[in-house]
């Protein structure tokens, strides 16, 4: 049975920077360092150690659900906190320099994010099939609206729900109920597609929504420590066009 409605996640489902965050931190430090010290200046000898420290700080920061909720609503401050936590000597760089690095990292991620090549094709085919589509994404309004506008996604959806605008986000049950109500459907007729095993699989499954894990790595293998079982796994978005529930 095909659905009457599908809820789509945004980041790492329809769009992605396609690179690990360490790439953006490394490039941000390099660019800001050379802006400050000159193009010919030697980079810090321990650049790679710094990048790995920042990555460890990021894993710690985003591992806490409450920190995740507040951090995604203010990514600038979250990145600064992650940077400060990852530097073994935070006072090594003055605050303005650390702030510039954090902001440059965010700018690089936005600049290098692109649509998955089959995203628009899939949305258009589902819409032509008569399936009602909603975009449901966590994060601040400014950041997420900028992505929606950049990739001209609004015409493909009957409903766009951004956490910073709706006042509620995944995995809160009301976030899914609000989106389904906007589409005039219930969980028995609804699918959800996304890369987060808690937000787009476990939580919506508890409401009776058919949950499809979109594997951003493309190999279809669940993480070895996962305790979540998706109803379906897809490695490319066009897979959604080829099966029934």
- Token digits for 30? 């390099």
Same-domain pairing of 74 and 43: yes
Same-domain pairing of 124 and 214: yes
- pLDDT of 17 reads 94
- pLDDT of 237 reads 96
- pLDDT of 220 reads 83
- Concatenating the DSSP letter of every residue in 64-95 gives SHHHHHHHHTSHHHHHHHHHHHH-SSGGGS-H
Q: Which residues of 45-72 are buried (b: 16+ CB within 10 A; e: fewer)?
A: eeeeebbebbbebbeebeeeeeeeeebb
- Percent of the chain whose predicted confidence (pLDDT) is above 90: 87
User: What average pLDDT is seen over the chain?
Assistant: 95
Same-domain pairing of 139 and 223: yes
- pLDDT of 41 reads 87
- pLDDT of 225 reads 87
- pLDDT of 48 reads 96
- pLDDT of 9 reads 98
**What does residue 93 show for φ and ψ, rounded to 5 degrees?**
-110, 135
Same-domain pairing of 142 and 226: yes
- Token digits for 150? 């950049």
Residue 225's CB: how many other CB atoms inside 10 A?
Answer: 5
- pLDDT of 109 reads 97
Same-domain pairing of 86 and 125: no
Q: Which of 178, 168, 195 is nearest to 5 (CA)?
A: 178
What is the CA 47 to chain-centroid distance, rounded?
26
- The residue among 112, 143, 162 that closes a domain is 112
Run of H or E including 19: none
Same-domain pairing of 81 and 161: no
- The residue among 59, 87, 112 that closes a domain is 112
Same-domain pairing of 172 and 211: yes
Under 8 Å between Cβ of 140 and 73: yes
- The residue among 112, 138, 159 that closes a domain is 112
CA dist., res. 80 & res. 136, Å (int): 26
> Which segments in the chain show pLDDT lower than 70?
none
User: What is the largest distance, in Å, between two alpha-carbon atoms of the chain?
Assistant: 62
Same-domain pairing of 153 and 84: no
Number of domains in the chain: 2
Enclosing domain of residue 62: 21-112
Cα pseudo-dihedral 154, 4, 1, 230, rounded to 10: 60
Same-domain pairing of 128 and 236: yes
Q: Is this structure's pTM higher than 0.75?
A: yes
pLDDT in tens, 202-226: 999 999 999 999 998 878 888 888 8
Same-domain pairing of 119 and 237: yes
Same-domain pairing of 27 and 10: no
CA dist., res. 234 & res. 218, Å (int): 8
Same-domain pairing of 128 and 227: yes
Residue written as tokens 């899914």? 176
**CATH number (domain holding residue 230):** 3.40.50.1000
Omega into 46 within 30° of 0, i.e. cis? no
């Amino acid at each position: 049975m095909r659905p009457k409605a599908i809820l789509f996640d945004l980041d790492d489902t329809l769009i992605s920077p396609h690179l690990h965050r360490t790439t953006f931190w490394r490039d941000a430090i390099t660019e800001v360092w050379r802006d400050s010290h000159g193009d010919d200046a030697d980079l810090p000898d321990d650049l790679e150690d710094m990048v790995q420290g920042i990555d460890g700080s990021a894993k710690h920061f985003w591992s806490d659900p409450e920190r995740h909720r507040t951090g995604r609503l203010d990514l600038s401050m979250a990145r600064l906190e992650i940077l400060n936590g990852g530097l073994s000597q935070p006072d090594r760089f003055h605050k303005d320099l650390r702030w510039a690095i954090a902001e440059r990292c965010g700018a690089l991620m936005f600049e290098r994010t692109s649509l998955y090549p089959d995203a628009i094709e899939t949305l258009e085919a589902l819409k032509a099939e008569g399936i009602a589509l909603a975009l449901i994404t966590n994060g601040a309004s400014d950041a997420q609206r900028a992505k929606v506008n950049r990739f001209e996604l609004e015409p493909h959806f009957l409903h766009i729900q951004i956490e910073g605008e709706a006042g509620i986000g995944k995995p809160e049950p009301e976030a899914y109920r609000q989106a389904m109500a906007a589409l005039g459907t219930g969980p028995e007729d609804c699918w959800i597609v996304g890369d987060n095993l808690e937000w787009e699989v476990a939580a919506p499954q508890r409401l009776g929504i058919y949950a499809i894990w979109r594997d951003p790595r493309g190999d279809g293998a669940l993480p070895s420590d996962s305790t979540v079982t998706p109803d379906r796994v897809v490695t490319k978005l066009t897979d959604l066009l080829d099966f029934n529930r």
